[in-house]
Amino acid sequence: MRSDYWDRPAFETVRPRRLVAPVVFNSAHSGRVYPERFLAMTRLDHLSIRQSEDAWVDELFGRAPHLGAPLLRAHFPRAYLDVNREPWELDPTMFVEPLSDRFNTTSPRVAAGLGTLARVVAENKPIYRERLSFEDARMRIEGIYHPYHAALQGLLSEAIASFGMAVLIDCHSMPRLTRTGDRPAPDIVLGDRYGTTCAPGLVDMVETIFSGAGLKVARNRPYAGGFATRSYGRPQHGVHALQIEVSRHLYMNEATLTKTDNFEPMRLLIERLIFALIGLDLAALCSTGTPQKAAAE
């Protein structure tokens, strides 16, 4: 089966003119290029299908290459392919053919309809009119998912070769959360898999920048970090990974996905964060503590 992105790139690595720090930014869910074939397969209108996007996150972090760090960003949408899942995390009810037991068909994410190929978007809306062929999954996973992760691994390897370490900042957005009990709803959630994927000092620094701007910051609840954070974060091997979730209400209208007047102030705050990350002595900061606690799933 020919790729749905045969005539255009499915993702893009935006490189700095000169690499000045071991930081890699990844925006895997901000893609908004919807193939015509995919749109013909869905029962949803164009706005509904976009509800699972981390809309505009790639633009919020878009200054990273200008400041000296690469940005990997998807053009394919999350509703089409989710590279923040295991490669073969598939829902067997979505396919015409039976799936072999070598695939992960029983994860909580699959049960929720949010596997590598999602069954639903926000508010549990089914995506597809009919069941898919397995060849469709193979085309997306072998043709896009694996090259995407190869590109991400390549950027981390370049950082290690140049600086002896790497820091992955996994960039996401989240729906506006509601207050729970006496605890205010966070504006930012930092995920380090409960202290196992990133040096504590680095997480502290990121939290300080957001909280210093008046934002409420939480750690690991309700988002502790997904597949990328869990897979690449190996502090004992010099690779640190931190997931950043930015509440969408801070910069856009969640219903229409249009930017609000707050977009530019939020982008400037994130630019300040990028500048701070790039300017730090990350090797010294990340050598001050080794995570010990086992991550909860």
Domain ranges of the chain: 11-286
Helix pair 263-279, 200-212: axis angle to 10 deg: 150
- One digit per residue, the tens of pLDDT, for the chain of length 297 reads 999 999 999 999 999 999 999 999 999 999 999 999 999 999 999 999 999 999 999 999 999 999 999 999 999 999 999 999 999 999 999 999 999 999 999 999 999 999 999 999 988 999 999 999 999 999 999 999 999 999 999 999 999 999 999 999 999 999 999 887 778 899 999 999 999 999 999 999 999 999 999 999 999 999 999 999 999 999 999 999 999 999 999 999 999 999 999 999 999 999 999 999 999 888 888 875 443 333 333
Give the separation between CA 288 and CA 72, rounded to whole angstroms. 28
Sheet holding 188-191, edge to edge: 11-14, 71-74, 23-27, 166-174, 239-247, 188-191, 217-219
CATH class of residue range 11-286: alpha beta
What is the pTM (predicted TM-score) of this model? Answer: 0.94
